[in-house]
Amino acid sequence: MLEVQDVSFSFGDLKVVDCVSFSVGKGECFGLLGPNGAGKTTLTKIIVGLLKPKGGRVFINKIDVQREPKKIKPLIGVCFQESIFYETLTGKENLEFVAALYNIPRGKVKDAVSNSLNRVLLNEKDAAKRVEHYSGGMKRRLAVAAALLNDPPLLILDEPTTGLDPQARRALWETIEGLKKAGRSILLTTHYMDEADFLSDEVAIIDHGKIIAIDTPKALKDSIGESVIELKCSFVKEDFVVDARKTLLISNIMPVESGYKALTKEPNNVLPEIVALGIKHELGITSVEVSSPTLEDVFIKLAGKALRED
């Protein structure tokens, strides 16, 4: 359904997308996982034809996006991070306006709006409210509903759950899962590792505009072949990292939110040693946990930094 071939893009001398290639099959959810500023939004704008790549090509259902942009418009639905709605209109009125932009025949607008609202679990009462009274989660679901109005086979969701509380995020995940089961192809950009893991059939990890790994979430996590020791502590000290790398059987250790993560093939031996070293450096350790790798741990190993870092 979607094929991206060696796509590059620069703003002046700054290369923000660097020879990116991947494909999305019919009925698949493909996750593009990376930190803010990694090039994800720029890439989605190239895919939908809003930006012209400096190199490479994009095909949607075998149609060249740059050469035949009018042909690809009925095939895609796009949900960008920015709100597209008029706050003083109701959810239903906003969707009717978007339907007009899609040139949906007037006699089919009512059904198109109703079907889209049902798919994202917004009821008639919700649809009759002004958007200014919507919660963040409702606005994001309305944005997905707008992307579905023309019943596209390919749905592009750019950071769809950014800023939502955990309950609203989970509700939107269930909506996306339902769309995938209904046969939609989905390109999902996100900086949330758990979101990419839960929703994606395949994940590409992107950093500084370049894909550094691509595979199924399970295969990426299995590729590490190590356990993760996470220390939560009151203080983060650079000399602790230096000592840990010198004295412990670890492949890497990085400061993360509220502490450190270390990768090791010998967690049973390293665990008491890293705790003792943390006590020596007076880190104020509050908890220690050994776990299997996550997609963030894959990113840490490949990129040498935490996923949340800019």
Considering the domain architecture, whether residues 253 and 286 belong to the same structural domain is answered as yes
pTM to 2 decimal places? 0.84
Sign of CA dihedral 73, 76, 81, 84: positive
Kindly state the average pLDDT of the residues 219-230: 94
> How do residues 61-76 score in pLDDT, each as one tens digit?
999 999 999 999 889 9
Same domain, 180 and 243: no
For the chain, the domain total comes to: 2
Q: For residue 310, what pLDDT band results from cuts at 50, 70 and 90?
A: very low
Do residues 198 and 277 both lie within one domain? no
**At residue 125, does pLDDT exceed 50?**
yes
Residues 49 and 181 both lie in one domain: yes
* Domain edge (last residue) among 216, 240, 269: 216
Q: Are residues 140 and 251 in the same domain?
A: no
Is 80 exceeded by the pLDDT of residue 77?
yes
Residues 254 and 108 in one domain: no
C-alpha 12/C-alpha 9 separation (Å) is 9
Q: Does one domain contain both 202 and 181?
A: yes
> Which of 167, 183, 216 marks a domain boundary?
216
Q: Indicate which CATH number applies to the domain containing 85.
A: 3.40.50.300
| Whole-angstrom distance, CA of residue 162 vs CA of residue 268 | 37
Query: In which domain, by residue range, is 258 found?
Result: 226-292
Taking the CA atoms of residue 9, residue 102, residue 191 and residue 201 in that order, the dihedral angle to the nearest 10 degrees is: -100
Residue 308 binned pLDDT confidence (cut-offs 50, 70, 90): low
